[in-house]
Each structure stands twice: as structure tokens, then as C-alpha cells.
A and B are shown apart, each in its own frame.
Chain A
Amino acid sequence: MEILDRKLLRDLGRLWAQVLAVALVMACGVMTLILALGATRSLEETRAAFYERYLFGNVFATANRAPEHLKAGLTAIEGVAAVETRIVKSLILDIEGMVEPAAALAVSLPDFGEPSVNRLYIRRGRLPEPTRPGEVAVVETFAEAHGFAPGDTFGALINGKKRQLTITGIVLSPEFIYAIGPGDMVPDQRRYGILFMSRSALEAAFDMTGAFNDVSLTVLRNADMDRIIEAVDERLDRYGGAGAHDRDDQISHAFLQAELDQLQAMAGVIPPIFLFISAFLVNMILSRLIALEREQIGLLKAVGFSSLHVAWHYAKLVIVICAIGLVIGGIAGSWVGGALTRLYGEFFSFPFLVFAHSADLFFIAGAVTVAAALAGAASAIRSVVVLPPAVAMRPPAPARYHTLGIGLGALHSVFSQLTTMALRHLWRRPVRTGLTTLGTSFSVGLLVTALFSFDSIDYMIDQIFFQTAREDAAVTFAGDRHPDALRALADIEGVMRAEPFRQTPVTLTNRHVELRMVIEGLPRQTQLSRVLDVDAEPIVLPSSGLLLSERVADKLGLRVGDAVEVDFLSRENLTVSVPVAAVVQSYVGLTGYMNIAALDRLMREGARVSGARIKIDPDRLDDVYDAVKQTPGIASIALLRLSREQFRATIEQNVVISIVVYSVLAVIITFGVIYNSARIQLSERARELASLRVFGFTRAEVSSVLLVELGVVVALAQPLGWLIGYGFAWSVARGFESDLFRIPLVVDQATFATASLVVIAAGLFSALIVRRRIDRFDLIEVLKTRE
């Protein structure tokens, strides 16, 4: 080992606390990078492997009732690899011990052989036998929520008839990695399940012999998706085809993709913040060290070390800091990344997890970190190179201070000499003071970003459940009905109010932009399901025209008064041009509303309802649930009363985790920045402060010089941090926005206050550690050392 390396080791030993503080900030950057990228990769690979091995479809379409012989035509479409026609129906379940009704989607399995698209992974048991119509396989999440095992039974209302079903197997499907019931806001594994039954059983139950209502296709590599979708639509149009779509519009895939996109977005935002701050801290530490060691640097050059050799010596210090940061961050990143992947694996049902152990990730993280740190060190190291050996022999000229301009001169009367000293010191290094403030404000910003999700979710819950969807349950019929069907519902004892709705799939087209979505027809004035304008005020639905959510209007480039082309997918060749009557608020899905009477007119089928939203007398909930389980014709029921609680619980659980993580990160940043700047100020001003003690100032007075400086920095950082936090929050809200959901940007004052309190506390803590050093000053030692 070179002798100079011993110096390096001893320097490290002396500076260990500062080195560790920077290394921790760096480690956070490395960790978040590895975490986000690693988890994204693992999940992507897991998903890809699952999709590939279990033949997840590429194109999906539904119809009312299409003859089975169409299959040959579908298979013949150029680029199609395999076609699987199925019967897919909604069911209401009656599960013992569960008061409220559960809903399920029954999907048919071919009577012979495995499905050629969307195969099942069998976790336990076996698939149902075609000869035994009462057998079902259920998805794992549903089985787990009920503690079901093969052999267990439950009741179901199948096409109006009550049947007892026996579970033969527990399965996973690439199609239902994420399953959410119609009308639900969050997945509820207990109240919504996916069942797989034999084709012949469903054919018999729903009178669908020789017909199908759902088809999935896989395509060949390089197939022309648009052409295939068009061709599928052409063939299914006459049979009530609701428009074929690719994976992007497949719910399970889209949700998973949204989740992955968010992870990836995190990798783009958080690690750079940490790397920036660690670069700044490295710069601060190294500049100070080099300023202190001017004579040593000069000496090394005088005795014949080349400039580069000496520069390399200081660069090594930086590399050691990076190495510590990388090791800590790498270990933490892989560990937390693994846990996160497992968590996701559990949340989404994957049959297996592929952990992407990518060495390149560590390499990337390492290279990025070292590059950032060396960039931070560059100016300090450059000063080593250019320092002429002769100049180094002389002590540095006394530092130059400036009067603080007009204002502060007058402040002499207000502030004590000590405070003026502190302010002047801050002013002397405006860049450093600015960067320290910026670094601290990032902590505030991170916390605001973490905490604002609570505000937004509260706001969203209020908007969705108390302003918009105020019903207790939403009942969907099996197919559209005559409005008389509403009466059957309203007559149930305990139903206090029932409001109809009609939903129909459409494609909206404006110029070249197309959007597949659902238009919902509602009565003119509703009390349960209200439509709100962009200012959250309830709207009375106009007698004609479309009301589109902001996202839909944006995507299509539409404004109020513009006409949009509406293609009703469930009707053959029915395309009309409809004006946009208003832009409305919506947080979930792509939504469009219309007066139900206007919708009926446009669709020319007479008055129709798809279902109803109902208000239930709280004392008679059980009666209503019972009645629903018995009522034929109900395909599914979403219980918003339960969703409300479920929603908060699910989201808050995630949010709490992220708040803890962000807070830890913010505290580490604050500590890294404040502790380091305090230590450096202490080092720069040791003589000055020691002299003050010699002159007879008390410890408290002397520390106050330093604490005032830190206090000013921390105080300045607050408003800046709020701004940064608001900016981050905005970008997070934007990052979350997808066709599936969107979060409003709401930041309460309490959030700003909490963020500030945490940072101020962390700052105070760091300052106190440094204060203890001042208290233990060895006056002789400090005054003796030549600087």
C-alpha cells in the first residue's frame, strides 16, 4: 500500500461521520434506482414468462351470440396463430357465511383438450369434467379469500336458476392477473371471483349451444394488429360484436402495465435527486478538505508528486465514498427490490416469479453514482491540479467578506454582532448557501410528495363516494332490459331508491384519434350517481349531447360545442355525430355520459336499461342482499358501501408504506445536508469560534453563531421545499394518470406543515450533534493549529 493511501485511510477515519452521511444519501439513490429498475424488470420478465407459457391472447373481442362456425373464418385471418372461442357470463354467487352477494365471471373451458389461448396454471386439483356440469375451477385469489379448497361448494344463480357448484381445482390465468368486478373501484377478491366451467355446462345453462360470446386470439410475430382487429370486427359485427381490442385495453394487462409504468417513472425522478445531492455533498466535503490541506498538497508537489498523482489521491476518497454508498445501496436495493417484487407477485396472482438478477443494473448504478460524485468533486480536484506548489507554501490569504449590502448594515442595531457574523458568513458563499438550502428543500419536497397522496385520496374518496357514486349498490342486468325491469328492483323491500343507467360500448372518433370506451346514459337529474362538472358542481344532464371526462376530451382534442363521431359497437353500422355538451370530472376510467332518453333515441332500440343504482335502507341490508341472490336476470352487483371501506384500506396501506419510505429518505437527506454543512462550517470557523470562547463568550453564545446559520438555511428551505414538493406532487399525479384512473392534485396546508416539521426536527437533531462538538472544543488545540 502506498504511504499516501495511509493518509487516505486516516482521513476517512477522521471524516467517517461525514463520509457515512454522504454515502447514505448516495445509497438511497442507488437503492431507489436498483429497486425501481430491478422490480420493474423482474415483474416484466415474470409477466412475459407467464404470458408466453400460458399463451395469453393478443386480441380480444366479445359478441352477443356468434355461431361457432365463425371460428374457421377467424383462424383464417392473416397473422392469426390461434383462436379460442368461449362463453363468458356474469353470475351472482351465494356463498355460505357471506351475507352480501358475490359476483363472478364464468369462463368456459373447451370440453376436450387445453385452451389454445389463455391457458390455466393449475395450482391445486384439476379442471372440471365436461360430463359433470356442477364442477368449477376458481382463481386462487378468490379461493384464498374464502378459504376454499377443492371439494368445497358454493351456490350460484345461473341464468335464473340456483345451482350448487363444486370446486375441483384452484387455478391462475394470465388473463386475470388483476381482476376487478364491474362497477368496483378496487379489486375485492372476496366479492369478485373468476370461475372456469366446461363449455358444455355453460352452453346448456345459457342456451348457447353452437355459439360463443367471447373470443381470444394469439397472433404471429410481426402480424398487423390493426388489420387483424379490423377483420375480427368485420366478422363479429352482425352478432353484436363490441369491437375487438388488443392487450392495451385488456383490463388485467392495462392495470399491470400502469403499475409498471409508475415504478419506472419513479426510477426517473427519485434517484437523480439523491445523486444530485450527493454530488453536492461530495463537493462540499472535498473542497473543504482541500482548502485545509493546501500546504500538504503543495508539499506533495514540491517533493515530486505529479499533479495528477495528488489529484488521484483525492479522487480516491470520492471513490471510497461511492463504494460505501454502492455497497449499502446495492444490498438494500436488492433486498427491498426482492421484497417489493414478492409483494407485487402476491398482489397480482403470478404462478411463479422470475427474479431478474441483472449485474448490469449494479454496473449502471455504480457508473452513474461514481460519475455524479466525480462531477461533484471535479471543481475541487481541479483546484488540486492547478494549485502551484509555491503558492501552496504560503498560508491562504484571509477570507474576504462583504458587507451585506444596504439592508443588513442597518440590521446591526437589530442583530447582535454574533448574528451578524453568522449572516455574513452565509452571504460570503452564496452558491454554497444556495445549494445547501436547495438540498434541504428537496427533503421538504420529498415529504410533501409522500404526504400529499393522503390529501388527494381523501379528496378523491369524497368526490367519488360522497359526491358522485352515492349509491349503496349498483346492479347490472344480464343484457339490457325494458325499463320495467327497474320496478322489480324497486319493489324489493328495503330498496329506497333505484335509478336506472344504460351502458353501451362505443368508439369515439375525432379526426384521426379513436377512443374505445363506454357511454353511460343517466336520467336527467340523479341523486345517487351524480355527474359533476370540472368545478365539482353537480350537473343536470342536457336533453342532448355528450358529456365527456377531461381526459377523454383531452385525448380526442375536443371542446364543448365540437361534434364527435360515435360508433355504437353493439349495433351494426350505427354511427352518429354528437355534439359535446360539457366536460366533466372523473377519476376512474374513460367516461362519457348522456341523458338516457337521448341515448335511447340515438340507438333506436326503444327504451333500455343496463342496470340500476340503488339506495338501501341500512336496517334491511340483509333482506336486500337475500333478494338479490334470488332475483333472476341480475348479472352482477357492486357494493359501493363496502367499496368505500375497502378502497380506503387498500390504498392507505400502500400509501403508508410509501410515506414511511419517503420520510426515511427525506430524513437521510436532511441529515446528510445539514450535518455536513454544520461540520464544514465548524471546521472553517473553528479558530474564530474558539477565539470567541477565549474572549469570554459562553458555549451557548458561540454555538448560536453556527445554529443561526443553519437556522437561516433551514428556514429558507421551507418555502422552496413547498414549491418543489408541489412540483413533484404535480408530476406524480401526472405520472399516475392513465386511462384507468387519475389522482387529483390536492395538497392540504397540514401536509406542508408536517413536511416542514419533520425536516426542521431532523435539522435540529443534526445541529445538536454538531453543537456537542463545539461544547467539547479543545481551545488550545484549535488555536494552536495553523491554518
Chain B
Amino acid sequence: MAAIDTQARPVFHVEDLTKVYVTGEVEVRALNGVDMTLYEGEMAVLLGPSGSGKSTLLNIIGGLDQATDGRVEFEGEDMTAFGARQLTRFRRRNVGFVFQFYNLIPSLTAWENVALVTEIARDPMTPEEALAMVDLSDRMTHFPAQLSGGEQQRVAIARAIAKRPEVLLCDEPTGALDSKTGVVVLEALTRVNAEFGTTTAIITHNAATRRIADRVFHFHDGKIVQMVVNENPVPPSEVVW
């Protein structure tokens, strides 16, 4: 998708979001007043030093964690008011996750890992389709232990997109991969973003990745310190790192 369409519908709207972790005596302000809006179909990249609160934000908007203070809206609905049941339904229907360590179920094959999710989704694609989108049609019966890191991450992407989610949240999807494999994974993500118009947020430590984004958010000490609009996103194959 090209430059950000200001007429686009907001998917997430975050206002003055705070997250405080209390561990014994120590209080950690992981998020300290974050404001942010993600629009339908956009590709956002989240950058920032370690410990700046990127994962925390993603976990909260993904319904994995709850904020200490502030407001999170998903398509106009106040997520801070969601109970466990609504959060589960939200995760089941609306979001796809991709994690740094893939988090595949080791005792299930590639196909089964995807089918796990399509079984409980509302209008999923078939596991075969999802795996084909990440170019893994020929590895469907392999167990995670029999796949390379990049292949495992692509299975994880297939699993995330198979339910046709509105949003795709990726926490360092290429963090454990070499650059070549990383490109393949990013290509899978941009392809999904382009074909289905899935709102995508990617956390990365690789500054070069920002070039594939429509918008880039810079985190520091639990705050968004800068937002840059990228007028000309490039395909991942042109990103070098």
C-alpha cells in the first residue's frame, strides 16, 4: 500500500497509555504516556532501544496484557473494559501474532500448527493456502524440529494470517534470522499486507527495515519520541543489512 491515506479508518487508537510493572520493591514504567493511532491497512514499524516499551505496547494492543492506565480502542471499542472472555474472542478473531522465537508447538507438524488456529477461526483460509502464501507447500508434514529458523518463522506467519486477521502484530520476527532469511520472512509479511490489507505492526532492532514501512514510530523510555511518515516504502528485497 502506498502512502498513508488520511481518510483511512483507525484500527487502534491509544491515548496516554501507561504500564507499570511492580516487582517487589521495584517499579518499572514500561510505558509512560503513549499516544498512537494505527490505520487500516498500514504497515507500521516500531523502533527503539531495548527496554523502551515496544513489546509492552504490542502486547497490550494485542490483548495479551492489560494497561495500568490510559485508553486503548480497537475499532472504536474500549479494550481496557474487556474481560478475559472478550479478550480471548478478540485474539481469536481479530489479531495474528508473530514472535521472535516462532513459538510453534513442537509436537505438531507445520500443517497442524496452522490447522490449530483455523479450527477455531471464523472464516479462515485452509492451512494449505496459508502455507502456500509463505512458500512452504512442500514442508507441510515436517515437525518444527525438522525446519530451519526461517521456515519455522514462515510457519508462524502462516499460522498468524490463516484466520485472515484485521491486524498482524510481529515482535522481532526476523530477530533470530540471518538477513537473507529475514528478507524472505518480511516479504511474506508485506505480501499479506498488500493482498489482504491487513494492518501490520512490526517491532524490529534493524533500522534498515524501516524502509518497508508506511510509518515508523521511535520509542524511548516508554514514550514515542518521534513518528516518521515514509512516502516511498520499498520492497524487502531492496533492504540491505
Binding site for B on A (CB under 8 A): 2-4, 6-7, 10-11, 14, 295-296, 298-307, 388-390, 393, 786
Contacts and interface: CB of A to CB of B under 8 A. Distances in A.
A302 B159 CA distance: 12
Given A296-B103, A306-B85, A393-B99, A6 B65 contact: no
A268 B37 CA distance: 66
B92 A295 contact: no
11 contacts: A3-B108, A3-B112, A3-B116, A11-B107, A295-B101, A295-B103, A306-B88, A389-B65, A389-B91, A393-B64, A786-B101
B93 interface: yes
A299 B99 CA distance: 9
Given A3-B115, A4-B116, A11-B107, A302 B101 contact: no
A296 B107 CA distance: 10
A310 to B, nearest CB: 10
B225 interface: no
A390 B116 CA distance: 19
B227 interface: no
B89 A304 contact: yes
B59 interface: yes
Q: How large is the interface on B (under 10, 10 to 19, 20 to 34, 35 or more residues)?
A: 20 to 34
Nearest to B114: A3
A11 B105 CA distance: 11
A229 to B, nearest CB: 70
Nearest to B160: A303
B55 to A, nearest CB: 8
Contact of B105 (A2, A299, A390, A393): A299
B93 to A, nearest CB: 7
A302 to B, nearest CB: 5
Given A2-B119, A295-B101, A14 B107 contact: yes
Contacts of A305: 88, 92, 120
Contacts of A300: 116
B30 to A, nearest CB: 11
Contact of B65 (A11, A390, A786): A390
Nearest to A296: B105
Contact of A390 (B59, B96, B119, B159): B59
B117 interface: yes
Contacts of B103: 295-296, 298-299, 393
Nearest to A786: B101
A298 B117 CA distance: 14
Nearest to A393: B99
Nearest to A8: B107
Contact of A7 (B89, B108, B117): B108
Contact of B91 (A6, A10, A14, A301): A301
Interface in B33-75: 59, 62, 64-65
A767 to B, nearest CB: 28
B119 A393 contact: no
A19 to B, nearest CB: 15
Contacts of B108: 3, 6-7, 10
A306 to B, nearest CB: 5
B79 to A, nearest CB: 14
A303 B64 contact: no
A757 to B, nearest CB: 41
B101 A304 contact: no
A133 B91 CA distance: 96
B110 to A, nearest CB: 12
B64 A307 contact: no
Given A3-B119, A388-B65, A389-B64, A304 B105 contact: no
Given A3-B108, A388-B64, A393-B64, A301 B119 contact: no
A10 B159 contact: no
B112 A6 contact: yes
Contacts, number: 74
A275 to B, nearest CB: 29
Interface string B192-235: 00000000000000000000000000000000000000000000
B84 A7 contact: no
Q: What are the 3 A-B residue pairs with the smallest beta carbon separation, nearest first?
A: A304-B92, A390-B65, A390-B64
A303 to B, nearest CB: 5
Interface of B: 59, 62, 64-65, 84-85, 88-89, 91-93, 96-97, 99, 101, 103, 105-108, 112, 115-117, 119-121, 159, 171
A82 B230 CA distance: 109
Given A6-B112, A299-B103, A302-B62, 15 more contacts: A4-B116, A6-B108, A7-B105, A7-B107, A296-B105, A296-B106, A299-B97, A303-B116, A303-B117, A304-B91, A304-B93, A304-B120, A305-B92, A389-B91, A393-B64
Nearest to A10: B107
Contacts of B116: 3-4, 300, 303
Nearest to A299: B103
Contacts of A307: 84, 88
A389 B59 CA distance: 9
A304 B88 contact: yes
Nearest to A295: B103
Contacts of A7: 105, 107-108, 112
Contact of B92 (A11, A298, A303): A303
Contacts of B64: 301-302, 388-390, 393
A14 B107 CA distance: 10
A388 B64 CA distance: 7
Contacts of B105: 7, 296, 299
Nearest to B169: A302
B73 to A, nearest CB: 19
Nearest to A293: B105
B89 A303 contact: no
Nearest to A303: B117
A7 B116 CA distance: 10
B62 to A, nearest CB: 7
A4 B115 CA distance: 10
A525 B67 CA distance: 94
Most buried by A among B65, B99, B103: B103
A306 B120 CA distance: 10
Contacts of A393: 59, 64, 99, 103, 171
A14 B105 CA distance: 14
Contacts of A304: 88-89, 91-93, 117, 120-121
A544 to B, nearest CB: 81
Contacts of B65: 388-390
A302 B65 CA distance: 10
Given A10-B107, A307-B88, A390-B64, A302 B97 contact: yes
Nearest to A14: B107
B83 to A, nearest CB: 12
Contacts of B89: 304
Given A3-B115, A3-B119, A7-B108, A303 B91 contact: yes
A141 to B, nearest CB: 61
A647 B157 CA distance: 78
A301 B171 CA distance: 17
A296 to B, nearest CB: 5
A299 B100 CA distance: 12
A11 B159 CA distance: 21
A781 B64 CA distance: 31
Contacts of B97: 299, 302-303
Contacts of A786: 101
A307 B108 CA distance: 20
Contacts of A301: 64, 88, 91
